[in-house]
Amino acid sequence: MFEQDDVPSSHPTTLQVKLVSGQADRYVFVDGPLPGVTGYFVRDGHGRAQALHLFGRRLPLREL
């Protein structure tokens, strides 16, 4: 899941992603306005996912 301040309210801000088998940190969107679009997780120095890389942008993950 990601949040972005400039996403219009008509678009969902919570999207489902699935991990791509055999490719570390790669994901694919499975629903919403971006089905089939792929990207990768950005990790910190401790290996924790901190953001999604999508369309050349870094989208911070929300704390759950």
Residue 49: domain span: 17-59
Query: How does pLDDT run across 14-59, given as a tens digit for each residue?
Result: 778 899 988 889 999 998 888 999 999 999 999 998 998 989 999 8
Q: Residue 23 falls within a domain, yes or no?
A: yes
* 19 or 5, which is more confident: 19
CA-based R_g, the chain, Å = 12
- pTM, entire model: 0.61
Structural domain contains residue 64: no
Distance CA 15, CA 38 (A): 13
Residue 51 domain-assigned?
yes
Please, is 42 exposed, middle or buried when counting C-beta atoms within 10 Å of its C-beta (0-12, 13-18, 19+)? middle
How far apart are alpha carbons 52 and 43 in whole angstroms?
Answer: 9
**Interatomic CA distance for residues 25 and 12, integer angstroms:** 23
- Residue 40 resides in a domain: yes
The whole-angstrom distance between residue 31's C-alpha and the CA centroid of its chain comes to 12
Residue at 28 is within a domain:
yes
